[in-house]
Amino acid sequence: MIPQSITDAIELLTSGDPYTYSVIWLSLKVAFFSLLIATIIGLPIGVILGMTRFAGRIGFLIIVNAAMGLPPVVAGLLVFMVLRNEGALGPLDMLFTPGAMVIAQVPLAMPLIAGVTMAAISTVGRPIRLQARALGASRIQEAMMLMREKRASLVGACIVGFGATISEVGAILITGGNLLVGGRNYTRTMTTAIVLETRLGNFSRALAFALILLLIIVFVNIFLTRAQITRFET
Amino acid sequence: MSEPALRASGIRRIYRDTMSLEVDELSISAGEVLCLLGSSGAGKSTLLRILGLLERADGGEVVIGGKRADPTNLEARRQVSAAMQNVVMFKGTVDDNVRYGLKVRGVPKRDAVHAVTQALQLLELENLSERRVGGLSGGEAQRVALARSIAVDTEVLLVDEPLAQVDEPLRERLASRLKQHIRDRMVATLWVTHDRSEALALGDRIAVIEDGKLLQTGIPMNVFSRPADERVARLVGTENIQQGVVTANERGLASVKVGDTVFEASSNVSAGSDVLLLVRPEEIAMATSEPQYSSPRNRLRGRVSDAVVQGALTKIYVEAEIPLVAVVTSPTYRDMELRPGTTVWASFKATSVHLIRRT
């Protein structure tokens, strides 16, 4: 079956099948925007928690660490409750849209990015921070310097976040619904497609999507890891 | 009298319920180098961090350019630059590091290039500007750290053992150049060191710190020849320290009895006072035969117990009525053959003796 699925995967990729490409494209789009928003929120949180000491910091650390283990279906359920017609954001009419899928994935990726960033920033020694201040750096400039010093780790945080979003299924299944509308893909990603094809007994097609997903993950990670090592570690 | 560029008063730092730093008054004028001399753990680096507005003191105030300054005041912090004892480099090239302080101040690129070039030239680092900092030696990294602090051209410069890892003769050359630069730019400089020869060579004034307290501040020759107490004396290298009693004082010429030996000292300390008698090693003249026509009032016959060559100078340890340490040039040591066991006459003037009243 696995050799057959490899053949199917190659055929799916080379045949120019619009359905397959739309599923891949949507997967990447949802993962990218989830990662982008999670990074915009998680990175500053990680930097603040890593470089400052304030009352209640321990509480924030516990929240971030606990949120790293947030079950995707729980995140999906909570976002579903907020976005449904009766929910707080019901008037936005976002449920079962790619936007809802992005919103559902942000709380899954954001704690990972914040946690890895915090761990990296807190390893920067006091002397280097003092030296930046001694040369006239403001708090924000000091934070920027710390991020620059730890940029390889921050790329690592993004790799972790990308892994979490591209491979996630529970939250986007609940909030996206795995829909084809009028024969066109609307909220189906590779992970939800794998779930569907497996349920339908199309194991070969499910395995083909799984292989494509794995290939994308490997390629993106090769690119990011190379950047991490060659550009940011020196 | 004009306001000093940097003034600190009543500085207190408490560490684990104990007073770890207590500086009542310290000031540095524009263009002046104040060398802060003290042994390891004396509180030098803590004081530097407080003066550099990098740490808040538990009491007292720091005034920069006539205005009370605070670590939260970015404008005040940018009037000071500091090179810390633990040299840390930011990732990137030497040029990136030297440019950092200018970049955070938003200095226009053309001016920044000029300032970086000047700082690199001053520290003889022009050839290393594009080198990544990971490949620098300890001495090179220290020079980069110093260049980084100088490039920003602040009113106050604080440097903590800035040339400790730089080898001679470059160290001496750079120290001399830096002092000239500080005078030309009228930078008030605190130069932290534990090296008394560096303090003597560079300082317009010296402040001696020990156990978190400033023990004495003054021009180098005064601090070195007239230490305020025994701790200062030991820190500035006065190795001949003896307890004695002033037996008489006639018109500023005191007779001091140390054991069975009487020394003469130029001092106003009155008869009956318990004193410490201090003589710097370099004030003692050595001879291998008894001098017939010598002016020094104090003369001791003894035997060389040890001789330690320290580059251009040699330290001679003499067993006499009291143990003495003298310093001669190394050629003199060779010419006079001051080997252990040699009989010598050690003599020093009454004006070379400093008396400190014991309390």
- pLDDT one-digit tens code per residue, B88-114: 999 999 999 999 999 999 999 999 999
pLDDT in tens, B260-304: 899 999 999 999 999 999 999 999 999 998 887 777 889 999 999
A9 or B61: whose pLDDT is higher? B61
A127 interaction partners in chain B (CB closer than 8 Å)? 84, 86, 88
Interchain contact B54–A (C-beta under 8 A)? yes
Task: Tell me the residue type at B237.
Answer: G
Q: Of A98-112, A136-150, B190-204, give the lowest mean pLDDT range.
A: B190-204
Following DSSP, what letter does each residue of A41-96 receive, concatenated?
HHHHHHHHHHH---TTHHHHHHHHHHHTT--HHHHHHHHHHHHSTTSTTGGG--TT
Out of A130, A136, A149, whose CB is closest to B78?
A136
Q: How confident is the model at residue A127 (pLDDT cuts 50, 70, 90)?
A: confident
Q: Which residues of chain A have a CB within 8 Å of the CB of B90? A: 128, 131-132, 145, 148-149
C-beta of residue B68 within 8 angstroms of C-beta of residue B61: yes
Q: How confident is the model at residue A232 (pLDDT cuts 50, 70, 90)?
A: low
Q: Residue B10's closest CA among B1, B192, B18, B21?
A: B21
Inform me whether the pLDDT recorded for A13 exceeds 80: no
CB atoms within 10 A of CB B274: 13
Higher local confidence (pLDDT), B358 or B25: B25
* pLDDT: which is higher, B181 or B1: B181
- What was the pLDDT predicted at B292? 77
Question: Which of B49, B51, B54, B88 is the best mutation test for A, with the most CBs of A within 10 A?
Answer: B88
Contact list in B for residue A141 (CB cut-off 8 A) is: 104
Report the pLDDT value the prediction gives residue A3, as an integer from 0 to 100.
77
Give the distance from residue A200's alpha carbon to the nearest chain B alpha carbon, in angstroms.
Answer: 54
pLDDT score, position A208 = 85
Partner A contacted by B52 (CB < 8 A): yes
The answer to whether the CB atoms of B88 and A127 lie below 8 A apart is yes
Q: Label residue B20 exposed, middle or buried (CB < 10 Å: 0-12, 13-18, 19+).
A: middle
| Polymer length in residues for chain B | 359
Determine the average pLDDT of the residues in A134-158. 92
Residues 306-325 of B with CB under 8 A from A: none
C-beta atoms of A134 and B82 within 8 A: yes
Count of CB atoms within 10 A of residue B85's CB? 16
**Buried residues in B228-253 as b, exposed as e (16+ CB within 10 A):** ebebbbebbbbbbbbebebeebeeee
pLDDT at position B1: 54
> Which two three-digit tokens encode residue B239?
């190795």
Chain B: residue nearest A130 by CA? B54
Residues of B in contact with A136 (CB under 8 A): 74, 77-78, 81, 101, 104-105, 152
Contact: B100, A135; criterion CB under 8 Å: yes
Give me the domains of chain B, ranges plus CATH numbers: 6-235 (3.40.50.300), 240-357 (2.40.50.100)
- Does the CB of B101 have a partner CB in chain A at under 8 Å? yes
| Contacts across the A-B interface (CB distance below 8 Å) | 57
* B84:A131 CB<8 A: yes
Share of chain B above pLDDT 70, in %: 99
Q: pLDDT per residue over A34-85, tens digit each? A: 999 999 999 999 999 999 888 999 999 999 999 999 999 999 999 999 999 9
Closest chain B C-alpha to A119 CA, distance in angstroms: 19
Closest residue of chain B to A146, computed from CA coordinates: B90
Is A234 in contact with B91 (Cβ distance < 8 A)? yes
Q: Does A128 sit within 8 Å of B88, measured CB to CB?
A: yes
Chain A closest-CA separation from residue B208 CA (Å): 24
User: Which of B51, B96, B97, B100 has the most A C-beta neighbours within 10 Å, making it the best mutation to test the interface with A?
Assistant: B100
Taking CB atoms and an 8 Å cutoff, what residues of chain A touch B119? none
Check whether B18 has a pLDDT greater than 80. Answer: no
* Residue A182, Ramachandran bin (φ over 0: left; ψ between -120 and 50: alpha; else beta): left
Name every chain B residue with its beta carbon within 8 A of the beta carbon of A234.
Answer: 91, 132, 134
Task: Provide the CATH topology of domain A2-233.
Answer: MetI-like fold (1.10.3720)
pLDDT class of B79 with cuts at 50, 70, 90: very high
pLDDT (tens digit, 9 = 90+) per residue, B115-167? Answer: 999 999 999 999 999 999 988 999 999 999 999 999 998 999 999 988 888 88
pLDDT (0 to 100) of residue B342: 93
pLDDT of residue A233: 61
Pairing of strands B274-279, B285-287: unpaired
In this complex, the residue of B84, B90, B101 whose CB is nearest that of residue A136 is B101
CA quadruple B224, B228, B231, B232: dihedral, nearest 10: -30
C-alpha to C-alpha distances, B37 to B47, B104, B196, B223, B225, nearest whole angstrom: 12, 32, 7, 11, 15
Question: Percentage of chain A surpassing pLDDT 90?
Answer: 68
The model carries a pTM of 0.82
Closest among B96, B76, B94, B68 to B7, alpha carbons compared: B68
- Any A CB within 8 A of B155 CB: no
- The whole-angstrom separation of Cα A189 and Cα A183 is 15
CA distance B155 to chain A (A): 13
Is B28 an 8 Å CB contact of chain A? no
Q: What percent of chain B has pLDDT over 90?
A: 73
Of the residues B98, B104, B146, the best mutation for testing chain A's interface (the one with the most A CB atoms within 10 Å of its CB) is B104
Q: Report the chain A residue with the minimal C-alpha distance to residue B147.
A: A135
pLDDT of residue B85: 85
Mutate to test the interface with B, among A123, A124, A131 (most CBs of B within 10 A): A131
Choose the weakest-confidence range: A145-154, A203-212, B21-30, B248-257: A203-212
ipTM of the predicted assembly exceeds 0.95 = no
Query: Taking all residues of chain B, what is their mean pLDDT, rounded to a whole number?
Result: 91
Of A138, A148, A234, the CB nearest to B74: A138
Q: How far is B76 from chain A (nearest CA, A)?
A: 9
Distance from CA of B338 to the nearest CA of A (A): 48
